[in-house]
Amino acid sequence: MKPAELFHASSIMALGTIFSRITGFIRSVLAVAVLGTALLADTYNVANTLPYILYNLLVGGALTAIFVPQLIRSFGDDDGGHAFVSRLVTTVSAILFLLVAIGVFFAPTLVHIYAPEFSTQGFEREFRLAVAFTRYCLPQIFFLGLFTMLGQVANSRGSFAPLMWAPIANNLVVILIFSLVLISAPDLALGTISSTQTQVLGWGTTLGVVIQALILIPVVKRTGISLRFKFGWQGLGKSFSLAGWTLVYVLISQLGYLVTVNVSTSAAVRSSLEGLSTGVGYTPFSNAYLVMMLPYSIITISIITALLPHLSKLAIEKRPTEVRDQLIRAIKMVGVVTVPSSVAFLLFGPIITKVLFVGIDYKDSTYIGYVLSALGIGLVTFSINLILIRGFNAFEDTRTQILSILLINLISVALSYLFLNTLKSEWITIGLGFAFSVSYIIGLFLTLALLTRHTGKISIYDFFGQHFKLYLASFLAMAPIFLLSQYFGWVDSDSTPIIRLAELVLVLIATPIAYFFIARRMKVDEISITMELVKVQVARATSSRRKSRNKGGE
């Protein structure tokens, strides 16, 4: 896939992702405004995270890893793959429905596993509320699966944009729900939230996922795939064999995330007992993670989603060298955005979150920023790892990559428990962000070594020179503004929203301009390529609008 083709496909998805993330931010800000960042918010966020954890643990990861390569193979069947797709969608949907039923029944057990300190004496109210939220949110599992399957069908047919645009509808629904709750109950608290309000928040969140999935049904029909209920295992044997190893991969990953939720909720309970007013638990971590994922989602996901069908085709045609070249090209293109984003999060995390998370005490929003700074250290290696994993998937190797995720999670778990037992309560969640970053930095070297058996020699030196220049350009561009912020005490001051916004605008305008100028002077090829491709896309869009106007005039 040439850079122009890759950029064109990914830019369409990136645009959808940008709108999705903007609405997602509004959704998160409203959630923080309604629920705060302490224990009430943790009961909702833990419950709303469980469907995603269970879905990814049992089904989601397998679908993502095996669906596109297997779909592309099935298109060579006599019926064009219609029967294969129908059987897979029907079978997985039945499994998901069963998981929802089991999960709802065992909701108290799930909450006890993921937030054990909610079960301790004195926190019975938090436990009951978390269980209620969990039961309202667990049906999302079924619709998350449906969304993934329909989206992957569309991707395999070359339709990438809908998968990125559908979440916007989800966010808009939840924004409406939280807005109504905020207007009707602006001072919601653990002691005042009613069962009706709990149901509105829980079911409203699930409704967003339902709409997100159903939107893709007409999209799949337009691709020419005819879906119908079709039970049976014919042709699914290899898919489920591959899925078995992917489930092990996801199991390891989710067990690591279980520790993150455990440790962060423990920090929240401890800080409550110590009388700390700042929310320091799972909610600050999840919100900081959401901000950190913005450049990753816009650039990395867009590029690798567009690239995966092409990688699968190259792997099937036994062209490993070209797979290697495509992966390195993707890493370099992604680095143009993730490297400066990583440096910006490290230096300006609190300044960013003080603006984004309004309606809460500035100490709470600043704390989220410190967690973001810790997470930002690992953004680049996290993105590279995910790109390389797509290389394993293209070769339908879901077994080897397990060693990489095992090492990453062992490091993260060890550091998480170390910080839980050595740091003060207010530093534990920041420590979790640091544990995340260190684990992916170390894990990258093993991932590269493991992928070599498929692609030939591939190492960090294939992109280290380019990334070093990008890091140097980022620090040179951002250091003056950072020193300015430290001199005037931007981080610790409880300034007005207008002043906070002005500070962030200065960061967002001055640093990117300086970064692109310095990187271009350093002769980073991807900077020039990206700028040229942007010009091409703008010219193409302008030409398209002119043709539309001319036709309208006719």
- C-alpha closest to that of 243 among 448, 450, 13, 63: 63
Give kind and range of the element (H or E) at residue 490.
Answer: none
Q: Which range among 19-23, 137-141, 461-465 shows the weakest confidence by mean pLDDT?
A: 19-23
Distance CA 263, CA 116 (A): 10
The tokens of 268 are what?
């929240």
The answer to whether 435 touches 415, Cβ cutoff 8 Å, is yes
Helix pair angle (379-394, 302-316), 10° resolution: 30
pLDDT value for 225 = 66
Looking up tokens 């070599």 gives 452
Task: Locate the DSSP E strands across 341-440.
Answer: none
116, 489, 507, 509, 549 from 502: Cα distances, Å: 42, 14, 9, 10, 39
CA 387 to chain centre: 14
Q: Which residue has the higher pLDDT, 382 or 14?
A: 382
43-52, 280-289, 414-423: which is most confident: 414-423
Structure confidence by residue, pLDDT tens digits, 147-158: 887 877 776 666
Distance CA 107, CA 132 (A): 8
Share of the chain above pLDDT 70, in %: 78
Structure confidence by residue, pLDDT tens digits, 203-235: 999 999 999 999 888 887 777 666 666 665 555
How many CB atoms are closer than 10 A to CB 104?
Answer: 16
Looking up tokens 């993150």 gives 260
The answer to whether 339 touches 467, Cβ cutoff 8 Å, is yes
Q: Which of the four pLDDT bands, split at 50, 70 and 90, describes residue 19? A: confident
pLDDT value for 307 = 62
pLDDT value for 515 = 93
- C-alpha closest to that of 393 among 74, 65, 71: 65
Residue 522 DSSP class: T
pTM of this prediction?
0.78
With 0-12 / 13-18 / 19 or more C-beta atoms within 10 angstroms meaning exposed / middle / buried, residue 344 is buried
Distance CA 432, CA 437 (A): 9
pLDDT value for 537 = 46
Distance CA 460, CA 410 (A): 22
**What is the average per-residue pLDDT within 281-299?**
85
Helix pair angle (237-273, 61-74), 10° resolution: 160
Q: Which of the four pLDDT bands, split at 50, 70 and 90, describes residue 12? A: low
Structure confidence by residue, pLDDT tens digits, 333-369: 889 989 999 999 999 999 999 888 877 788 888 899 9
Structure confidence by residue, pLDDT tens digits, 538-550: 455 455 555 545 5
pLDDT value for 354 = 86
CA torsion angle for 310, 21, 107, 35 (degrees, to 10)? 170
Structure confidence by residue, pLDDT tens digits, 383-438: 999 888 888 877 877 788 889 999 999 999 999 999 999 999 889 999 999 999 99
**What is the average per-residue pLDDT within 253-260?**
87
Q: Which residue has the higher pLDDT, 9 or 287?
A: 287
- C-alpha closest to that of 404 among 427, 382, 422: 382
Structure confidence by residue, pLDDT tens digits, 64-94: 555 555 666 666 666 656 777 777 778 778 8
Distance CA 472, CA 117 (A): 44
**What is the average per-residue pLDDT within 7-22?**
64
**What is the average per-residue pLDDT within 277-291?**
85
